[in-house]
Amino acid sequence: MLKIADLSIIYPAQSGEQPAVDGVSFGLDGGEKLGLVGESGCGKSTIGKAILGLLSPSTKIKGNILYEGRSTLDFTPFQWRKFRGEAVGLVFQDPMTRLNPLMTIGDHCLETLLAHQPHLSRRQAQETAGEVLEKVRIPPNRWGQYAHEFSGGMRQRVAMALALLLKPRLIIADEPTTSLDVTVAQEILRELTRLCNYEGMGLLLISHDLALIGEYCDRVAVMYRGKIVESGKAGDIFSRPSHEYTRSLLASAFHVQVRPEKLQLSPRASTVLTVKGLKQYYTLEGNFLEQFLRQPKKVIKAVDDVSFHLYEGEIFGLVGESGCGKSTLSRTILGLIPPTEGEVEFSGSKLTGLTPRQMRSQRKLIQMIFQDPSASLNPLMTVGDSIADALLIHGLATPGEAHQKVKEMLERVGLWPVEEFYGRYPKQLSGGQQQRVGIARALITRPRLVICDEPVSMLDASIQSQVLDLMLQLKADFNLTYLFITHDLWLARYLCDRVAVMSGGKIVEMGNTTAIFDSPQHPYTQKLLQAAPMLRKKS
């Protein structure tokens, strides 16, 4: 169905440099599932964009891309329009690049369907869209909401639904589960693989998650610096890798799945953060008729009576499905949104009720690593200036000192050569590189507490392992405390001393990490653990 023949891609800015994609060839049949893995910046996403003709016209493309024997490089604009969506659906790494902030989720679905199937009535289109949204667990009452009202994981579900609306023969999924919890990721990938098996749909799954690739793909192609260095059946690649780079990727992935020995916290450890009865409720305005009839307003309990303590030097994990309230809780703790009820104390000082000026003095001691690095980086500022900005705002360094400290931090998070990355802009970085900049910026002020909201979710296995080890080293060097928010259960098991499991805005289970994973008590925790993919050496 799809054939990539000796494909090379050179971006305009790469003149005289190594191509982004260098002589890549592979094929994909109907009903087949191919996993494309490799570190960020290796060319995986570039191949996906090239297949759909989404690269800049000034990009140099050599070789050929064939779909059912036809070269896509010769398509007319009309053919491209029919091809995108009807023949091939694409799920982007960042759902916000697919969603118009001025359109409701329902309007997105209707626009996609009616643009390709104008013969459908609006009612028929709504019924079709509703069925697809239900498959990805988006309830009907969210039809009229906008993208900014959804969590990162919920936005990704919308992007998945839009890709499936027109029942394409091929799905290109570029990091489709990066921001999804394990239960939803399992359901969506099972649905995608079911379509592959029963409807002859092909799946090109681009991911750095080796466990995911191993569980859902028939074949694997490993990319490194624009080239495919190894390909074959998933079982063969994972059990008997022949290339050194593949072996290093697998070693890094297995490293995270092995829980290291944890030091027991001293019973005299001081409390860094205390959360008491925290609530974050949102009231939804009804439609005109509901307001006229004075019907009760609907309330969303994003955070519902949450209480816990964080002790000095510990890593406290917060896990749960997208939309359960994890990120809302972190933003409430930081004072970015005022709580409906409850209290937050940091080092004995009450944070709730502080003025913006008072809260600003605390923020150099409480930093956050955001889930979406592209949304938290100023596109008009260089990498170096973005990181140095935190030092200058809080008066922690002179411009000259800041420059030197930023260079040291860039080196610590693996962005080499340092001087080159210092002057780059976010748009010139891959997703994984942007996330490393976000980590560097959060740690540059040497905070006491770091709230980590999916901080390594966009990194490939080898870099993820390096960054996690770096965070552990910095924790030891500077006596840091981490509130670690993640949907990756094995990551929480590897990193965290204690874990709290959230569902529906509440903490349903909390305790020592080993106890939670070895003997989960709550049915929801058991469900999460059963759904989590684990990398295994196959025979």
Q: What is the pLDDT of residues 387-412, one digit of tens each?
A: 999 999 999 999 999 999 999 999 98
Q: Which residue has the tokens 């005022």?
A: 338
CA distance 314 to 399: 33
| Greatest Cα pair distance in the chain | 71
Among 218, 229, 214, smallest CA distance to 43 is for 229
Q: 141: which residues sit within 8 A by CB, 6+ positions away?
A: none
Q: Which helix H or strand E contains 77, and what residues bound it?
A: helix 77-82
pLDDT at 280: 94
Which three-class secondary structure string do you get for 247-272?
HHHHHHHHHHHCCCCCCCCCCCCCEE
CA distance 149 to 162: 18
Q: Which of 266 and 357 is assigned the larger pLDDT? A: 357
Check pLDDT > 50 for residue 539: no
SS3 content of the chain, % helix, strand, coil (to 5): 40, 25, 35
Check pLDDT > 60 for residue 176: yes
Q: What is the mean pLDDT of the chain?
A: 87
Among 474, 476, 427, 477, smallest CA distance to 455 is for 474
Burial 458-496 (b: 16+ CB within 10 A, else e): bbbbbbbbbbbebbbebbeeeebbbbbbbbbbbbbbbbb
**Mean pLDDT, to the nearest integer, of 161-188?**
82
CA distance 250 to 461: 8
Q: Is 237 helix (H, G, I), strand (E, B) or coil?
A: helix
Check pLDDT > 80 for residue 533: no
Residue 384 CA, distance from chain mean position: 24
CA distance 207 to 125: 32
Residue 218 CA, distance from chain mean position: 24
CA distance 280 to 303: 5
CA distance 342 to 228: 54
> Contact 153/323 with Cβ under 8 angstroms?
yes
From 194-208, 344-358, 406-420, the region with the lowest mean pLDDT: 194-208
Among 215, 315, 229, smallest CA distance to 265 is for 315
pLDDT at 407: 96
Check pLDDT > 90 for residue 143: yes
pTM above 0.75, yes or no: no
pLDDT at 482: 96
pLDDT at 530: 87
> Contact 238/214 with Cβ under 8 angstroms?
yes
> Contact 167/112 with Cβ under 8 angstroms?
no
Burial 352-378 (b: 16+ CB within 10 A, else e): beeeeeebeebbbbbbbbbbbbbebbe
pLDDT at 433: 84
From 271-275, 373-377, 394-398, the region with the lowest mean pLDDT: 373-377
**Mean pLDDT, to the nearest integer, of 165-182?**
83
Q: Is 22 helix (H, G, I), strand (E, B) or coil?
A: strand
pLDDT in tens, 483-515: 999 888 888 999 999 999 999 899 999 999 999
Residue 295 CA, distance from chain mean position: 38
Residue 378 token pair: 């100023």
Share of the chain above pLDDT 90, in %: 52
Residue 95 token pair: 């759902």
Q: 187: which residues sit within 8 A by CB, 6+ positions away?
A: 136, 137
Q: Please, which pLDDT band fits residue 373 given cuts at 50, 70 and 90?
A: confident
pLDDT in tens, 75-133: 999 999 999 989 998 887 777 777 899 999 999 999 999 999 999 999 999 999 999 99
Check pLDDT > 90 for residue 450: yes
CA distance 457 to 486: 8
Q: Please, which pLDDT band fits residue 259 given cuts at 50, 70 and 90?
A: low
Architecture of the CATH domain 31-42+78-257: 3-Layer(aba) Sandwich (3.40)
CA distance 198 to 298: 41
pLDDT at 489: 85
pLDDT in tens, 35-80: 999 887 788 989 999 999 999 888 999 999 999 999 999 999 999 9
Tally helices (H) and strands (E) across the chain.
21, 20
**Mean pLDDT, to the nearest integer, of 456-476?**
78
Give domain limits for the chain: 31-42+78-257
Q: Please, which pLDDT band fits residue 286 given cuts at 50, 70 and 90?
A: low
Q: Which helix H or strand E contains 432, and what residues bound it?
A: helix 431-443
Q: Long-range contacts of range 211-216, CB-CB < 8 Å, 24 or more positions apart?
A: 211/253, 211/490, 211/533, 211/534, 211/535, 212/35, 212/177, 212/185, 212/533, 213/35, 213/37, 214/35, 214/238, 214/533, 214/535, 214/536, 214/538, 215/189, 215/533, 216/33, 216/35, 216/189, 216/192
